Structure 1
């Protein structure tokens, strides 16, 4: 399909996920405009054929669709309503796609705030990791009005292999995402606990990893994150503090209806402990560092079983 038949799309936030999503859109033939507070991230994408924007407002003036891939609701507020924010510059009928993990009630309210300006909105959190984002194989959990989907056209499919439509109003996308994060956080915490016990009991870490990943106790998070532990590599593909935030959102949502979440509560405390010990900006596998009396594998020693950036 010729490139000039595609609407211009802006991507705000060129982190682990946003960078891959922008690349997927460009490969699909969309003119892609980008903004990030890190100039080097913008210039790297411009070198591959993207168009730099100096602010979200400038992007909004150029693009019919703006995709936000920032960390949280506060950053999304800044992108939309801060100095040189996108909301005031977007033309009526334009679409804002919100891909962050946020409080579902905040997302519901945002849909109304944008509608007052004549703007369309998709509640569209994402999952799958950097490698899947880069290959267009990630998952999007979306909810929004039919006209918002119509405006998005084929852009969602260009970014994701699985695009789930979970409701005709905002909210359910974010609700499903935080449920996913409940499981992800609990699974990482459980994986770390299991590996820590193995190390404490003197089991060879690589052998334990091999056995578990071929046994019934395996999980995707054990296989992925414990590979980081074996490699001694805590470069943050998803940081400890992300799960402090996301599990906090899970607990806040459940607390509003007095719904008990004992496993999520324990996992949240584990990530809080790791963060307070100084590991908040390390990979979330660093939650294993809260366990006493174990010697963790060091970088450059033993087999590197690290998997792609998911």
Structure 2
């Protein structure tokens, strides 16, 4: 078979936050022509300084593009950058594909996909997992669903961004449903890890030894191993914010209520994230749930001056 000599697609990345910036950088490193757009002019300037192109609006970014990768926070932002004033729909060429990576209710995904496809474009439902570091390394996990044509059009961009690409069906919304199962587990595991490490603090245990023992034992989880170091270092700079799980576990609750399916563990975890956000830590790292447990119980965590002295 002769080598593929077709030109690489032009890509617009809308949303240059911690995930989107890394994704845009990964695309650029693979030789794709990438334009970045964000509400933060500083984020756009940073991408341009690293060799990319910048745009002030989604419409400007999408002009003449083959692929638009949307990496915004939620459904409302996705709809705005697609169909709002100066949105992608104002300039995107016919036949181009929108790769939407926001975590959303599958019903909303299906509605947005129908609008895109009615306009003569393709839509790939492609929520992501892996965190900012893996995004920057081009090693995300992408949970995608959509038509064969959408996958084919987006393939060069997907290959540049993902270490694992799961093709989960031919209808938008299926990828979103898979992502919500992941988010249910992730949220419950973060809450459980936070509960455990704060309980260990209440017992007066050496928290670094707790971490060493648990990560070598059956009680370990990916979230315990990943998030508890933030607690040990007293560093709650957001890598994944509390508010993300307020949103995502809220979607899980809505989906479960609609399906008349009980999700008591997810419901309890959501209350802990809500309590943490309500205490002013919504934009802090989601390991901040441990701080709420500690403050309620009178335990002290490293670097958190708001927690009173442990009574142990």
Normalized against structure 2, the TM-score is what? 0.93
Contact preservation (8 Å) 2:9, 2:156: no
Contact preservation (8 Å) 2:79, 2:112: no
Contact preservation (8 Å) 1:234, 1:285: yes
2:64 corresponds to 1:59 = no
Residue 87 of structure 1: CA displacement? 1.2
- Quote the Cα distance in structure 2 between the aligned partners of 1:134 and 1:60: 22
In 2 relative to 1, CA 3–222 (structure 1 residues): closer, same or farther, beyond 3 Å?
farther
Equivalent of residue 102 in structure 1, options 98, 101, 104: 104
Residue 2 of structure 1: CA displacement? 11
Partner SS for 2:302: coil
Contact preservation (8 Å) 2:64, 2:93: no
Partner SS for 1:5: coil
Contact preservation (8 Å) 2:70, 2:98: yes
Residue 77 of structure 1: CA displacement? 1.1
Match of 1:12 in 2: 14
Match of 1:275 in 2: 277
- Quote the Cα distance in structure 2 between the aligned partners of 1:42 and 1:184: 31
Equivalent of residue 261 in structure 2, options 259, 268, 273: 259
- Quote the Cα distance in structure 2 between the aligned partners of 1:153 and 1:278: 41
In 2 relative to 1, CA 195–3 (structure 1 residues): closer, same or farther, beyond 3 Å?
farther
Q: How does 1:196-211 map to 2 (within 5 A)?
A: 196-211=198-213
Give the gaps of 5 or more residues in structure 2: 305-312
Deviations 1:154-210 (A, max 9, x none): 210110000100010101100000110001000000000000110001001111111
Residue 92 of structure 1: CA displacement? 1.1
Contact preservation (8 Å) 1:21, 1:136: yes
- Quote the Cα distance in structure 1 between the aligned partners of 2:5 and 2:148: 25
- Quote the Cα distance in structure 1 between the aligned partners of 2:111 and 2:174: 13
2:299 corresponds to 1:297 = no
Q: How does 1:1-310 map to 2 (within 5 A)?
A: 5-291=7-293, 292=296, 293-298=298-303
Residue 62 of structure 1: CA displacement? 2.8
Residue 31 of structure 1: CA displacement? 0.5
Deviations 1:97-146 (A, max 9, x none): 10000011000111111111001000000000011111111100000011
Partner SS for 1:140: strand
- Quote the Cα distance in structure 1 between the aligned partners of 2:180 and 2:225: 21
- Quote the Cα distance in structure 1 between the aligned partners of 2:291 and 2:232: 13
Contact preservation (8 Å) 1:2, 1:29: no
Give the gaps of 5 or more residues in structure 1: 300-310
Contact preservation (8 Å) 1:3, 1:30: no
Alignment size in residue pairs: 299
Normalized against structure 1, the TM-score is what? 0.94
Contact preservation (8 Å) 2:122, 2:150: yes
RMSD of the alignment, in Å? 1.4
